């Protein structure tokens, strides 16, 4: 099998979105929900989310359901003739081959008979619901632009479960991690500051911005410990933007561009262009960790409520 270009493609796709969409680059993401396996119902993760959504939009497939050839076939589905599959990746933890042990590893192995573990990146092919004959796509669409009052209440309830300290004020939206190091008075540590909802053009604008700030809030040691990565300002903003796109799709909020996107765009472009393909995957991995944290928080709080 020829060497995969998937990681290179993911970097190219992110750059294309930044260059062609400009300050609106987050708008098209996840219009029909996070890409999801049609059979396990698990969401794809990290860079796979970006890549599958990119393929969906490029082909105008308004469907977030995917599966392998074997999965589709096992349920009696047929893939349309001429359909080209899409590559995704996953990481597998395996014993390191004894032939590739270094001197220190070999000494440990001889003493314990245990091989060290290595993380291997593997690839496989999936097909979208649009590529399946007579597949009912409509029932799988999850994302809607116009939400009911009940949907807004559910989003508010999810945000409340995080127990994040959110203060509404007359200024801009931002997250304060260490107030004493900032030249502002009366700011609280570990706090999100938000303009009042009525100061936004739409409720979608408000929630999109709040979820961006919540993704920043998830950086601390007790949450995702992203702070340990010592990201540059531009890197952290890009991770927050990707992470909030994931979170918006998960909660059913239409992602809206923030007014400050134009200011950040050049620094984002510079960061992505100068990084290796694997470095760029780091942004998606960190954003995924943030989404995992929120999903776990939502589930834990629901369990407490039932108990």
pLDDT surpasses 50 at 174: yes
> Who wins on pLDDT, 176 or 185?
176
For the chain, give me the number of helices (H) and strands (E)?
Answer: 9, 7
pLDDT surpasses 70 at 235: yes
Residue 95: strand, helix, or coil: strand
pLDDT at 281 (0 to 100): 85
pLDDT at 45 (0 to 100): 87
Instruction: Give percent above pLDDT 70 in the chain.
Output: 82
pLDDT surpasses 70 at 241: yes
pLDDT at 136 (0 to 100): 84
Give me the torsion for CA of 64, 62, 299, 50, rounded to 10°.
60
Average pLDDT over residues 271-298: 88
Q: How far apart are CA 103 and CA 88, in angstroms?
A: 35
pLDDT surpasses 70 at 185: no
Q: How far apart are CA 205 and CA 196, in angstroms?
A: 11
Average pLDDT over residues 214-231: 94
Mean pLDDT of the chain: 81
pLDDT digits (tens, 9 = 90+) for 24-71: 555 444 556 778 999 999 889 888 888 898 888 788 888 889 999 999
How sure is the predictor about 144, in pLDDT bands with cuts at 50, 70 and 90?
very low
Which runs of E-coded beta strand occur in 140-294? 165-169, 174-176, 191-195
Average pLDDT over residues 159-174: 91
pLDDT surpasses 50 at 122: yes
> Is the distance from CB of 121 to CB of 149 less than 8 angstroms?
no
| Residue 188 in tokens | 């609280």
Average pLDDT over residues 180-200: 78
Which runs of E-coded beta strand occur in 49-114? 65-67, 86-95
């Amino acid at each position: 099998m020829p060497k995969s270009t998937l990681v290179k493609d993911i970097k190219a796709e992110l750059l294309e979105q930044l260059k062609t969409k400009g300050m609106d680059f987050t708008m098209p993401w996840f219009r029909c929900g996070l890409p999801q396996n049609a059979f396990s119902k698990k969401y794809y993760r990290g860079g796979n989310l970006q890549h599958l959504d990119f393929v969906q939009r490029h082909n105008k497939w308004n469907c977030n359901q995917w599966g392998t050839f074997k999965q589709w076939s096992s349920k009696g589905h047929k893939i349309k003739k001429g359909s080209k599959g899409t590559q995704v990746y996953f990481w597998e933890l395996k014993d390191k081959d004894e032939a590739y042990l270094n001197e220190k590893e070999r000494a440990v192995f001889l003493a314990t008979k245990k091989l060290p573990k290595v993380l291997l990146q593997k690839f496989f092919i999936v097909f979208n619901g649009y590529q399946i004959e007579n597949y009912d796509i409509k029932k799988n669409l999850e994302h809607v632009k116009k939400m009911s009052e009940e949907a807004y209440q559910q989003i508010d309830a999810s945000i409340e479960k995080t127990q994040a300290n959110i203060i509404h004020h007359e200024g801009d939206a931002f997250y304060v991690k260490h107030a004493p190091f900032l030249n502002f008075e009366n700011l609280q540590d570990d706090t999100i500051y938000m303009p009042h909802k009525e100061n936004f053009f739409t409720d979608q604008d408000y929630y999109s911005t709040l979820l961006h700030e919540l993704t920043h809030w998830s950086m601390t040691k007790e949450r995702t410990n992203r702070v340990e990565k010592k990201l540059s300002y531009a890197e952290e903003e890009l991770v927050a933007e990707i992470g909030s796109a994931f979170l918006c799709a998960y909660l059913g909020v239409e992602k809206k561009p923030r007014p400050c996107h134009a200011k950040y765009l050049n620094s984002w472009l510079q960061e992505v262009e100068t990084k290796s393909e694997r470095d760029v995957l780091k942004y998606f991995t960190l954003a995924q960790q943030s989404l995992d944290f929120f999903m776990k928080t939502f589930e834990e709080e629901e369990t407490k409520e039932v108990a």
